[in-house]
């Protein structure tokens, strides 16, 4: 092993850097907790939480889009069922002439192409609907927070996400500045 300096071996450098990163991350989390506690101790901040899954599933726009997708699925399923019956009819005839085999093969190909196109279309449509729903919900949560004078609205989704915060309580820029200074190696001023 090669000594780098002050009795530290080269193999110790990566674990030490990882320890510093972990220590820094813990410091940022602790700082954020302290700030939140101080804000709540002021007594004039109002906070609440939202069950995100319940909100999403109960939202009228979600129900409307789900019904639209279900109607689309039913239309395509009707066409697929028709093609499947045609295929089964041809298969039941068990003719081995080339024209019957060609018709069966064409019907099967048509079914597979339709299923794939349908699956892709539904996936794109579902993603589009989900984005629109989430965008609208975020706007409504913000409006609700403003109207009811909430400082914070937390999303109870198990991931610790914050759904709304007043601009005056937003310390993002200060935390970014602090984190960048610490990352550059500037010492912590106490």
Give residue-wise pLDDT tens across range 23-56.
Answer: 666 667 766 766 766 666 566 677 777 777 888 8
Residue 65 has pLDDT above 60, yes or no: yes
pTM higher than 0.85 for the full model? Answer: no
More confident of the two residues 80 and 90: 80
Measured from the Cβ of residue 153, the count of other Cβ atoms closer than 10 Å reads 19
State the Cα–Cα distance between residues 62 and 129, nearest whole angstrom. 8
How many domains are contained in the chain? 1
pLDDT(137) > 90: no
Task: Report if residue 144 sits inside a domain.
Answer: yes
Rounded Cα–Cα distance for residues 110 and 98 (Å): 18
Q: Does residue 161 fall inside a structural domain?
A: yes
Q: In this predicted model, which residue has the larger pLDDT, 70 or 20?
A: 70
For the segment 165-184, the average pLDDT, to the nearest whole number, is: 63
Average pLDDT, the chain: 74
Residue 30 lies in a domain: no
Query: Average pLDDT in the 65-92 region?
Result: 87
Residue span of the structural domain in which 54 resides: 45-183
* Residue 136 covered by a domain: yes
DSSP SS3 for 5:
strand
């Amino acid at each position: 092993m090669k000594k780098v300096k002050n009795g530290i071996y080269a193999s110790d450098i990566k674990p030490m850097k990882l320890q510093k990163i972990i220590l820094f991350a813990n410091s940022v989390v602790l700082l954020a907790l302290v700030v939140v506690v101080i804000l709540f101790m002021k007594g004039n901040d109002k906070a609440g939480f939202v069950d995100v899954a319940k909100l999403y599933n109960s939202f009228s726009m979600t129900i409307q889009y789900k019904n639209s997708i279900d109607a689309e699925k039913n239309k395509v399923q009707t066409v697929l069922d028709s093609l499947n019956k045609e295929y089964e009819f041809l298969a039941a005839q068990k003719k081995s002439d080339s024209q019957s085999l060609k018709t069966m093969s064409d019907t099967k190909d048509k079914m597979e192409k339709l299923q794939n196109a349908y699956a892709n279309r539904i996936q794109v449509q579902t993603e589009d609907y989900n984005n629109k729903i989430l965008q609208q919900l975020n706007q409504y949560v913000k409006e609700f927070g403003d109207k009811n004078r909430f400082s914070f609205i937390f999303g109870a989704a198990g991931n610790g996400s914050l759904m709304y915060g007043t601009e005056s309580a937003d310390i993002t820029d200060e935390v970014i500045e602090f984190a960048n200074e610490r990352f550059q190696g500037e010492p912590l001023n106490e």
